[in-house]
A = this chain, B = another copy of it.
Amino acid sequence: MTQSNQLLQPDVQGLPLKNVQIRDEFWSSYEALVKDTVIPYQWEALHDRIQGAEPSYAIRNFRIAAGLEEGEYGGMVFQDSDVAKWLEAVGYALALHPDAELERQADETIDLIEAAQLPDGYLNTFYTVKEPGNRWTNLLDCHEMYCAGHMIEAAVAYYEGTGKRKLLDVVCRFADHIDERFGPEPGKLRGYDGHQEVELALVKLYRVTGEKRYLKLAEFFIDERGAEPHFFVEEWEKRGRTGHWTKGPSGHPNLAYHQAHQPVREQSVAVGHSVRAVYMYTAMADLALLNRDEALLEACRKLWDNTVHKQMYITGSIGSTFHGEAFTFDYDLPNDTNYSETCASVGLIFWAKRMLQLEAKGEYADVMERALYNTVIAGMAADGKHYFYVNPMEVWPEASDKNPGRRHVKAVRQAWYGCSCCPPNVARLIASLGEYIYTASQDTVYAHLYIGNEATVSLDQGSVRLRMESGYPWNGAVKLTVEPEQAGTFTIACRVPGWSEGMKLTVNGEQVQAEVRDGYAYVTRSWQAGDTIVLDAEMKPVRLYAHPRLRANSGKVSLQRGPLVYCLEEQDNQEVLASVILPREAELTEQTEPMLGGSLVTLSAEGVAETVSDWDDRQLYRQEPKQTERLSLKAVPYYAWGNRQPGEMQVWIRTQ
């Protein structure tokens, strides 16, 4: 099941965001949507100015904490993080697209954050405004370090995007404050946060500041987690067995929900809240790389295997249940009651990126691509102003209304949520998409995602400019033009997508026999300015079947073409999608059609549908078999679903 350990590869890093400009027919419009619509819209939301949406209170909380306004704290205990995630997205956007007005808004926000910071470095508006004196008494529930982590990520992004240090200085003071209170030394709390996030953030802070204490603190949080005696239990006892969410007495902490049930190095099964899980796995992978920690890498591999080969939906989403927004267990992937939170797929992409630095295996990039092209962009409407938290495999709008067990599954994207973690998460990921396309070591450039871009990468032998043109996700043709500052020998490793049957690769028009290893085609040669690699992984519609133990998909098939998973929508087919059958031998054809203001490839087939007309209204069960009629079946890319009128949707289609 798990691979034998192998030496960690040489230090492979991502490219700085500033070095990668997206120039892509598909993604440039998303990037523009985030910059021109999502960021301004979320700015309005953070200021409680969206009509008809739940108020955020997030900026207002900072103003109250800073003494600029009177009032009561509003929103969730982790509301600060929405401001942080917005700032992080702004940092990425400004890195690539300077914008004085946006920078002014951000600077103003940073001034406000600084004003809300206490003299000892502490920064959290919930505790400052609402529960002064209770700091660090409920790490289990109260997200103090989660918010700290997001603020750190924001500070790093904003510093890298603009060169401005103010927020970075704020978070360093805060990190110092945390470091003084937490750690293995006597007198410090041997605690860690209920929602992992600060760990990966501290690694970023270490990378940008070079301050080893931040790395050590991240290591401490990771290594301490799950150790006995359990910190969360001791803390709960000390609190008098109360909880934040219960507003009074609370039950014994559910350690597995927080991935604190056992030391992280001993964990091999993904459990608990899925966003917490993947944020933690991301930090584990970071530390495995930085510390050349084979044991931690091995734990990452086991957790990866379990997550993606036992508990991942075909759209690259995770979290089988609404209850605790959590993993359940192997092969339990119900289609109608899943959670599949947008944030969890964002976190899965973070993790996959780190795994790709640890070892260049196509599987990591395959999952990254699957989560990105399906769940993440499905999480946001084409207008950039409506979002899914939950990304269902199947929607029956009436059931979402009337069956309480399916109420979390929304048939239409919502304007904003009281707990609005997902929208800014999508924004910050898309705004930093350039970080996910390549990694590089001293002598090798890895191309993981085929998204058109212009990039500069520094190798030992000098700087190399790359220009990628890509037909993804509609066709598999990719052209990579290589412009080394000076000609020289290095390797370009191009991912062979897991969904392809193989990929044609030519260099300067000539077929080459590249060495293909673990899902990458390696081309090593002396590169001259203007050399081109042309790749072609044929995109054709394929059927995918699920493991028989995945009971929910028995008798069903899903459709995929290139990186895109497809789904049926009611309006293209009929009501009662459960009656639609795609015969095993039916040919799948593709059409390019206008939709969502652009054009996209839909799939069609001669299908069959069970008829309703021969049933009378007082017949719920009958002995006569169902009758069928022909139906022209049409599937659209999953990411595009729910952008027309509400109706049924289904990823898994009956087959025979």
* B-binding residues in A (CB < 8 A): 1, 305, 308-310, 312, 314, 320-324, 328-329, 332, 334, 336-337, 396, 398-399, 402-405, 542-552, 554-555, 558, 576, 578-579, 581, 584, 610-612, 615, 617-626, 654, 656
A305 to B312, CA, bound (A): 42
Identify which of A396, A405, A622 gathers the most chain B CB atoms within 10 Å of its CB: A405
The residue in chain B whose Cβ has the minimal distance to the Cβ of A579 is B548
Q: Is the CB of B579 within 8 A of A396?
A: no
Q: Is the CB of B542 within 8 A of A623?
A: yes
Chain B nearest Cβ from A174, distance in angstroms: 36
Q: Is the CB of A584 within 8 A of B656?
A: no
Q: Is the CB of A543 within 8 A of B625?
A: yes
User: For the complex formed by this chain, how many copies does it contain in all?
Assistant: 2
For A323, give its contact among B312, B314, B405, B547 (CB under 8 Å). B405
Q: Is the CB of B543 within 8 A of A623?
A: yes
A543 partner residues in chain B, CB cutoff 8 A: 623, 625
Q: Is the CB of A548 within 8 A of B618?
A: no
Q: Is the CB of B405 within 8 A of A618?
A: no
A516 to B130, CA, bound (A): 76
A543 to B542, CA, bound (A): 34
Q: Is the CB of B555 within 8 A of A576?
A: no
Say what secondary structure dominates the interface of chain A: loop
Chain B nearest Cβ from A273, distance in angstroms: 12
Q: Is the CB of A618 within 8 A of B305?
A: yes
A545 partner residues in chain B, CB cutoff 8 A: 621-626
A605 to B582, CA, bound (A): 26
For A404, give its contact among B310, B324, B656 (CB under 8 Å). B324
A546 partner residues in chain B, CB cutoff 8 A: 620-621
Chain B nearest Cβ from A521, distance in angstroms: 21
The residue in chain B whose Cβ has the minimal distance to the Cβ of A501 is B623
The residue in chain B whose Cβ has the minimal distance to the Cβ of A615 is B547
A332 to B618, CA, bound (A): 15
The residue in chain B whose Cβ has the minimal distance to the Cβ of A556 is B555
A405 to B308, CA, bound (A): 22
A654 partner residues in chain B, CB cutoff 8 A: 554-555
Q: List 30 A-B contacts (CB under 8 A).
A: A1-B617, A1-B618, A305-B618, A309-B617, A309-B620, A310-B620, A314-B621, A321-B405, A322-B405, A323-B405, A324-B404, A328-B402, A328-B404, A329-B403, A332-B398, A405-B405, A544-B621, A544-B622, A545-B623, A546-B620, A546-B621, A547-B612, A547-B620, A547-B622, A548-B576, A548-B579, A548-B611, A549-B612, A551-B578, A552-B578
The residue in chain B whose Cβ has the minimal distance to the Cβ of A394 is B551
Chain B nearest Cβ from A435, distance in angstroms: 27
The residue in chain B whose Cβ has the minimal distance to the Cβ of A546 is B621
A551 partner residues in chain B, CB cutoff 8 A: 396, 576, 578-579
For A329, give its contact among B305, B398, B555, B576 (CB under 8 Å). B398
A403 partner residues in chain B, CB cutoff 8 A: 320-321, 328-329, 332, 334
Q: A329-B403, A337-B405, A544-B622 are in contact. List 8 more A-B contacts (CB 8 A).
A: A1-B618, A309-B619, A314-B621, A321-B404, A329-B399, A332-B398, A548-B610, A555-B581
The residue in chain B whose Cβ has the minimal distance to the Cβ of A329 is B402
A328 to B545, CA, bound (A): 32
A615 to B310, CA, bound (A): 13
A1 partner residues in chain B, CB cutoff 8 A: 617-618
A324 partner residues in chain B, CB cutoff 8 A: 404
The residue in chain B whose Cβ has the minimal distance to the Cβ of A550 is B620
The residue in chain B whose Cβ has the minimal distance to the Cβ of A650 is B551
Chain B nearest Cβ from A622, distance in angstroms: 6
A66 to B544, CA, bound (A): 68
Top-3 shortest CB links A-B: A323-B404, A551-B578, A554-B578
A159 to B399, CA, bound (A): 47
For A576, give its contact among B320, B398, B549 (CB under 8 Å). B549
